[in-house]
């Protein structure tokens, strides 16, 4: 659906009325959509479909029992009723929600829904309405067609969820299936060959056969009615070939990639085993005809589906789908393998020719590249070892040269760092970022160090290298990681830091087996330490420093679990009275970026305050803001905490390993993540609120909280660890 169409659907509104569709003046209770840009009104739900009122005397009201009911004048029995049983109070109201759902509420609260029209659909499926079967309550949402455009009575066409074995959606005519969606594999639904059982049992539909009959028998089967197949009628399907004897020693499976698996209504489902165990399970059972994963993800399958009868309604796809494994005996396997080898030889010939041409082109390009690199290397060797450092402002080379002369920034030889890290052994590797790999090392004097090695192919790493040297070499604070020096030798550029044994904060608070070591007292100390160092960067240092990438993975913990901030590769420096700026290249990490920065490239000290608020919530809850998707309208941690805060239930989101005295920190965090930068406190105010018992203001709605009337696209945003500089405001890339 394009954005314009989606916006138009959001603008639709619903109202309740009676309607008449014919000269017989059948009057029913219904919803209609109404918009100036859409001609006419659309009936989306009808109450008394099979029991019309013959005149215009219908009255919709709430009866003495609290039920929503439709009456005809001068009658005591309702024409239609919600027909619910209630205990206790009968204080009910009826309301049409923005979604078009007619609900009967108890005590005027949306959380006490006694009845809703979405549970009893008619022939229209509207936005926000789901198709489901509730086994516990017996609720089955079934869509049924009208008898005619003038008669909303129930016809024999229905669309419903079939929950048997593995859920699928079916279109029925009476009890006869006309169409099947196939199981949701985590990748796609079907597109073509939509008619149910189009090729009959034990055959599959392949629509991309140019001009040929789309039906083909599975290996080991042949057409049941060859004459019918000759006239492109595959309804009879296929039967087992004569002479085929399964359950022998040589039984194997033929793999069919990219298929919609056969109807799973009679399949056996086992979600406790993987694909390998599924194969063994099927091979041990002589009645098992085929198997597949119940759910497919990239690179692996989950669960097991096995078929023990006819394989009905299968088809292939061009690009996506599941792998289906068909059981065959050794003779059929040999025939199928020979056929596959001939096809593979033709494909192999094409691949070899293509690779040969590509190799010649690659050799020519490599020759040009090597010649250019040699010229560049000769030029670089003639320059000063710091000549690569060119800054956009006056702090660049001057800062580094002064640090070198004053002894503030020791220079290490490459041989020293190589010996300390065991020649950059993989066993010494601590991690990998956008800058490059990080190694643990031990100097000859026994001191442990952490070495950030700039990747030769990292364009962003050079800029980070400049910022780190320019900032951390001069910044002094107990909650900042100390830089011990750097190494610049030939192509190698490295930063050497103090080694912190407890690694990063995220490796502890997001690990259920480790986070218990951080009780509330220690977490509060970590929060206060982060707040103090951010206040130092914003206010107490001679220049204003914006970190722009404050997150849990950039907070390290020393031996006594004291926090230390690092990674100033994305930092910006403000001089004089400057407090804010703009950029067309947005960098940072999803979930931590303030709305004005993420959407418009506008950053200020309040941008860091927003990141601090998100980090504060993560420390309190031990949940990630990006990956936390609770069963609520909010799709992130900030939204969930905000919803609970409004309902005075904020403690429900607190990490179970903590105590009760943390509501103040939750309130401070919500103040920091307010949507408008002007509403957020400064870091000095945050430090004051954390250390004092003064009354705090009430927070306003945070940024990036999904509204309840929206139906998000559900796209997952993967959390990365690297920073990307070359990004525009219109396309933000996560770190």
CB atoms under 10 Å from CB of 248, counted, come to: 11
Q: Which residues pair with 498 in a beta bridge?
A: 449
- Return d(Cα 477, Cα 533) in angstroms, integer: 7
Q: Which of 549, 608, 655, 686 is catalytic?
A: 549
CA 257, distance to chain mean position in Å, is 26
- End-to-end alpha-carbon separation of the chain, Å? 29
- Return d(Cα 564, Cα 476) in angstroms, integer: 11
- Return d(Cα 521, Cα 529) in angstroms, integer: 12
Give the count of alpha carbons within 13 A of 38, CB side only: 13
- Return d(Cα 655, Cα 637) in angstroms, integer: 13
- Return d(Cα 673, Cα 617) in angstroms, integer: 10
CA 207, distance to chain mean position in Å, is 32
> Mutual orientation of helices 605-621 and 663-672 as an angle, nearest 10°?
150
Q: Which own/partner pairs from 345-354 qualify as long-range (CB within 8 Å, at least 24 positions apart)?
A: none
Task: Examine the residue annotation and report whether 212 is marked as an active-site residue of this protein.
Answer: no
Short-list 269, 389, 262, 253, CA closest to 325: 253
Q: H or E element: which one contains 3?
A: helix 3-11
- Return d(Cα 532, Cα 518) in angstroms, integer: 19
Extract the tokens encoding 506: 């995220």
For the chain, helix (H) and strand (E) counts, in that order, are 14, 38
Q: Is 124 exposed, middle or buried (0-12, 13-18, 19+ CB in 10 A)?
A: middle
Query: What does residue 49 show for φ and ψ, rounded to 5 degrees?
Result: -60, -45
**Residue that the structure tokens 């028998």 belong to:** 217
- Return d(Cα 47, Cα 30) in angstroms, integer: 6
SS (H, E, C) 54-68: CCCCEEEEECCCCCE
**Residue that the structure tokens 């990630």 belong to:** 624
Extract the tokens encoding 152: 């909303």
CA dihedral of 604, 606, 612, 617, whole degrees rounded to 10:
-140
- Return d(Cα 525, Cα 466) in angstroms, integer: 31
- Please check whether residue 105 is in contact with residue 93, taking contact to mean a CB–CB distance below 8 angstroms: yes
Q: What is the DSSP string of 367-420?
A: HHHHHHHHHHHHHHHTS-TTTT---SSTTHHHHHHHHHHTTSS-B--HHHHHHH
Q: Which residues are catalytic?
A: 549
């Amino acid at each position: 659906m394009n954005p314009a169409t989606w916006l138009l659907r959001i603008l639709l509104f619903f109202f309740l009325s009676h309607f008449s569709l014919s000269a017989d003046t059948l009057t029913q209770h219904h919803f209609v959509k109404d918009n100036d840009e859409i001609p006419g009104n659309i009936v989306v739900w009808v109450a008394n479909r099979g029991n019309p009122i013959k005149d215009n005397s219908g009255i919709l009201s709430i009866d003495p029992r609290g039920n929503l009911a439709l009456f005809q004048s001068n009658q005591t029995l309702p024409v239609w009723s919600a027909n619910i049983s209630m205990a206790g109070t009968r204080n009910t109201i009826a309301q049409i929600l923005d979604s078009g759902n007619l609900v009967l509420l108890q005590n005027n609260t949306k959380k006490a829904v006694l009845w809703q029209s979405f549970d009893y659909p008619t022939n229209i499926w509207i936005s926000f309405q789901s198709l489901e079967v509730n086994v516990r309550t017996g609720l089955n949402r079934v869509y049924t067609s009208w008898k005619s455009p003038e008669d909303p009575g129930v016809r024999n066409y229905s669309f419903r969820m079939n929950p048997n074995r593995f859920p699928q959606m079916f279109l029925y005519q009476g009890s006869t299936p006309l169409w099947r969606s196939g199981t949701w594999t985590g990748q796609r639904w079907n597109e073509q060959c939509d008619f149910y059982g189009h090729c009959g049992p034990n055959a599959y539909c392949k629509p991309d056969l140019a001009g040929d009959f789309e039906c083909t028998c599975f290996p080991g089967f042949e057409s049941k009615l060859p004459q019918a197949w000759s006239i492109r009628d595959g309804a009879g399907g296929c039967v087992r070939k004569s002479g085929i004897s399964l359950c022998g020693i040589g039984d194997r499976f033929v793999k069919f990639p990219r298929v919609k698996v056969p109807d799973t209504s009679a399949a056996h489902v086992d979600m406790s085993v993987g694909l390998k165990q599924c194969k063994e399970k099927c091979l041990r059972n002589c009645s098992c005809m085929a198997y597949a994963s119940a759910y497919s993800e990239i690179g692996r399958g989950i669960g097991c589906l096995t078929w023990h009868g006819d394989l009905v309604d299968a088809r292939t796809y061009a690009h996506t789908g599941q792998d289906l494994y068909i059981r065959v005996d050794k003779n059929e396997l040999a025939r199928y393998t020979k056929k596959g080898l001939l096809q593979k030889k033709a494909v192999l010939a094409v691949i070899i020719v293509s690779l040969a041409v590509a190799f010649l082109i690659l050799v020519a390009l490599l020759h040009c590249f090597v010649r250019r690199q040699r010229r560049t290397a000769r030029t670089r060797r003639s320059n000063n070892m710091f000549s690569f450092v060119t800054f956009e402002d006056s702090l660049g080379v001057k800062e580094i040269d002064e640090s070198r002369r004053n002894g503030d920034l020791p220079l290490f030889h490459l041989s020293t760092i190589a010996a300390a890290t065991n020649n950059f052994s993989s066993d010494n590797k601590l991690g990998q970022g956008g800058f490059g790999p990080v190694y643990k090392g031990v100097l000859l004097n026994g001191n442990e160090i952490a070495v950030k090695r700039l990747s030769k192919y990292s364009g962003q790493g050079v800029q980070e290298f400049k910022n780190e040297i320019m900032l951390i070499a001069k910044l002094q604070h107990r909650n900042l990681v100390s830089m011990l020096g750097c190494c610049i030798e030939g192509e190698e550029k490295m930063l050497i830091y103090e080694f912190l044994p407890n690694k990063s904060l995220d490796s502890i608070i997001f690990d259920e087996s480790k986070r218990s070591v951080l009780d509330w007292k220690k977490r509060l100390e970590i929060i206060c330490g982060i707040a103090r160092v951010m206040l130092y960067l914003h206010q107490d240092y001679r220049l204003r420093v914006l970190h722009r990438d404050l997150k849990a993975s950039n907070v390290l913990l020393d031996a006594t679990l004291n926090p230390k901030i690092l990674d100033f590769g994305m930092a910006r420096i403000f001089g004089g009275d400057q407090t804010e700026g703009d950029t067309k290249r947005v960098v940072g990490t999803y979930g931590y970026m303030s709305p004005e920065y993420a959407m418009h490239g506008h950053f200020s000290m309040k941008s860091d305050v927003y990141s601090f608020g998100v980090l504060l919530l993560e420390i309190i809850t031990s949940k990630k803001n990006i990956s936390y998707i609770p069963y609520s309208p909010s799709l992130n941690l900030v939204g969930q905490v905000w919803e609970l805060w409004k309902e005075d239930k904020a403690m429900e989101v607190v990490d179970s390993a903590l105590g009760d005295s943390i509501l103040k920190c939750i309130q401070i965090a919500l103040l920091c993540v307010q949507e408008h930068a002007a509403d957020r406190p400064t870091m000095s105010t945050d430090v004051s609120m954390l250390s004092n018992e003064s009354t705090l203001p009430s927070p306003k709605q945070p940024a990036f909280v999904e509204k309840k009337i929206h139906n998000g696209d559900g796209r997952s945003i993967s959390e990365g660890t690297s920073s990307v500089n070359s990004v525009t405001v219109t396309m933000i890339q996560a770190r």
